[in-house]
Amino acid sequence: MNSTIKNAIKYVLMLGLGGFLFWYVLKDMDPEKVESDFRTADYFWISTSIAISLVAYWARALRWNLLLASVDINPPAYKTFLALMTGYIVNIAVPRGGEVARCAILNRVHKAPFNATFGSVVVERIFDLIGLLFLIGLTFILEFDLISDFLSAILLEKFQGLFSSLQKIYLFIIVALLFICSIAGILWYYRQQIQKHTMYQKISVFLAGVWKGVISIGTLKKKWLFLFYTILIWASYYFMTYTVFFALPATSHLGFNVGLVVLVVGGLGMSAPVQGGFGAFHYMVSSALIIYGIEKVDGVSYAMLVHTSQTLTVIFIGGISFIISLLIGKNKEKEYVNSKAE
């Protein structure tokens, strides 16, 4: 099976997963209620959320410039922003495709080497992951009682038959340990064959690249500025989700801690391998809001307002950025041809 067919199958599966999740979220919803929420929402707060998101995108472009500078690539900030927003619009159609697209666009508008720019994107994603893990930990600390009670209720409901007695709990632990030890023993026994496998080599290269990316922060000349941009990005992400609470009466009373929970679960939803986070974002956000007494239909309306407004913003700004990038790239090619002719 060639790579084109594999990529096509992967794309269809991702699209199907996103469509299924979106259907699952909406299947029991009253469409008239959701439509009414959209019509009566306070769009001042949604506009505020959009404005804050643009701050986050600009800060991300500036932070990317710092990483590029560490490998002697110094494009103007507006070119980095154009490449970044073009990458976002590609992500809506092809999950993780935006990382490749924005490097290609930066190469077109600034002749930046693709390999070097892609390495900087890998480093950036590593720090995004670190930031998300930090927020997950902070969320569990601040909302530990509520989240643990919610998870405990789910686990007790699902496994109360399995763990109905202490003996069964011990038996489950013993079986789980034996299974883990068996897997570990098999992997150790076949370690030499595994190390020769292409997948193992790819994972090893990836992990080595991750480690190299983590320690490359030491080459940054403006570490504190990098940290400032990182904090500004996450703060903007927080407030662009929190401000939409006030757009609906059902969510207008929710506090700062709830905004943090929504930021985390929404970030996980957007990280799911589906186009633009469709379905996954709506499911996770609406499920999280149930913990705080928000009806599912109101949680879905909130999630749709946030996701739709941000998706339309990315499509609009990203589309303009792509057109401008094409025009700049065309001018660059003309300049190159003229210089060769001279």
Please write the tens of the pLDDT for every residue from 136-171: 888 888 877 776 665 555 445 555 555 555 555 566
Rounded to 10 degrees, the C-alpha dihedral 134/136/137/143 comes to: 140
Report the mean per-residue pLDDT for the chain: 78
For residue 261, give the nearest of 246, 278, 245 by alpha carbon.
Answer: 245
Taking residue 159's Cβ as centre, other Cβ atoms within 10 Å add up to 13
pTM, entire model? 0.75
Mean pLDDT by 10 residues, the chain (342 residues): 54 57 61 82 95 96 90 88 92 79 88 79 84 86 72 52 54 78 80 72 63 62 89 94 94 91 86 71 85 88 91 92 84 48 46
pLDDT of residue 44: 96
Question: Which two three-digit tokens encode residue 134?
Answer: 């930090």
The pLDDT tens digits for 82-119 are 999 999 988 887 777 788 888 889 988 888 887 778 87
pLDDT of residue 312: 92
Question: Which two three-digit tokens encode residue 25?
Answer: 């979220």
